Amino acid sequence: MTIQNTRRQRYLDESSFSDNSEILGVGITLALENLARKNLIPSAPSSLCWQAASNTLQIVLLDYTAGRPISDLRAQMPALIERFDTYLAQEKSPRSEDPPRNVADTLEITQIDAYVYVLWLLALCKLLKHEEFASKVMNWVDKTFQYNRGRDKLFENVVQALTGKHVGGANRLFHENPYKPLAEATDALPEDRAALVKQFVTSWYKGMKNTYWHGAHTGGIYFGYWCLEAALVTILFDIDDSSYRDHLVYPKDLVDWYRANTEPSHKNAAPFRAPLRAEPGQPCPRSGEWFSPFLKKTVHVNKGEPMPGPDKDKTGNSVIWYLRDE
């Protein structure tokens, strides 16, 4: 059966699949062979480990684009995680060098490529039912805890829904374009979420113009354009994806496979819902008891009334109100 009959995106043909698969595969083989050699220059192991890890992720996505069965992709996950783990175990932060360099670590989510990679890895852990690897991915992220955690509200909402762990205080987005609608979906009422995810899916590719892989189908190593972040939020927040599932970049086969292979007891469980939140001065989205962890204060606010201030507490933390009964 040809790629034209199995492919999940129209940009991939037999020739580009064969060429890109070979380039990525050879890159992995050479990286692993060179790592076994002695007398490498000091910077070589890090570069080679990264090549093996990044190429493996791209192959997994390329195979999905080509139409490979989801079970085949699932079988590739242990090798993918192992290669990233090998890279992160030996990565030396530029800030720890002598003299230190003010350069972001590889998986520092302040950088758009790193943000995307981390969300993709978490999405694959969930969608391919390898949830046991999610904690390992978070260990990599937490190596640069002060730069990564408690600073991006979408990331923290996703991490809480996925792992049950949350670092509070996030009141911003590192990458508003294109992630703002997806972040709003994780805070919104259940009936409003699908429209927000659809908005995100529609604007996702255009908003990724600063990533290294944007436009690769016109020249470069194209492995597919997949909005795995939307699929992850769809699953974690139990969203009806019927309004956006046929969009070119939405990996509906991954979502369908996950749902088809989830035990009924899990399907019937109550989906995770992030606490409804509001900032000082904003109209209250729902009447009820609202709690601010930094102010250590609970107030009753009616829908439409402005949320009480100040914007920051005495120590400079941003004030966020959470609906108590959520």
Question: Tens digit of pLDDT for each residue in 92-137?
Answer: 888 877 787 878 888 999 999 999 999 999 999 999 999 999 999 9
Nearest-angstrom CA–CA distance, 60 and 175:
25
How deeply is 293 buried, as exposed, middle or buried, from its count of CB atoms within 10 A (0-12, 13-18, 19+)? middle
315 — pLDDT class (breaks 50, 70, 90) = low
Say whether pLDDT at 161 is over 80. yes
The domain limits of the chain are: 3-267, 278-326
SS3 4: helix
Q: Residue 226 half-sphere exposure, CB side, CA atoms within 13 Å?
A: 28
Q: Determine the straight-line distance between the first and last CA of the chain, rounded to whole angstroms.
A: 51
pLDDT at 314 over 80: no
The whole-number average pLDDT for the span 135-152 is 92
Looking at the predicted structure, is the pLDDT value of residue 78 above 50? yes
Position 260 scores a pLDDT of 94
Instruction: Kindly indicate whether the domain formed by 3-267 is annotated with CATH number 3.40.50.300.
Output: no
From 97-101, 133-137, 178-182, 195-199, the region with the lowest mean pLDDT: 97-101
The pLDDT tens digits of the residues spanning 49-76 come to 999 999 999 999 999 999 999 999 999 9
DSSP per residue, 55-118: HHHHHHHHHHHHT--HHHHHHHHHHHHHHHHHHHHH---GGGSSS------TT-TTSHHHHHHH
Give residue 322's pLDDT band: very low, low, confident or very high (50, 70, 90): confident
**CA 110/CA 124 separation, integer angstroms:** 21
pLDDT at 317: 57
Residue 268 pLDDT: 44
Number of neighbours of residue 88 by Cβ within 10 angstroms: 20
Do residues 125 and 119 make contact, with C-beta atoms less than 8 angstroms apart? no
pLDDT of residue 270: 45
Average pLDDT over residues 213-218: 95
Closest CA to 278 of 266, 267, 289: 289
Question: Quick one: what percent of the chain has pLDDT higher than 90?
Answer: 66
